[in-house]
Amino acid sequence: MAVTALWEAARRAPEHAGPPVWAHAGLSPGNILVTEGRLSAVIDFGCTGVGDPAVDLIVAWDLLAADVRDTFREA
């Protein structure tokens, strides 16, 4: 199945080789405050912890519209 192949490919992705870093795993729409179209605050630090910095990439899929994700990737 395609889903199984995708899952297996994801499992082969390299792990973070550096030291653990602070990350906020709860960057969801309910935890972001925007003023005049710009980020003004991040609230609810219940999901803050130390680990792989890739967790911060969740924001691209949880907050950004599909048509701006390419800009996020380029940046």
Q: Is this structure's pTM higher than 0.85? A: no
How far apart CA 73 and CA 54 sit, in angstroms, is 13
SS3 content of the chain, % helix, strand, coil (to 5): 45, 25, 30
Q: Note the pLDDT of residue 36.
A: 95
Print pLDDT tens along the chain (75 aa).
789 999 999 899 888 888 888 887 777 788 889 999 898 998 876 777 888 888 878 878 888 888 888 888 888
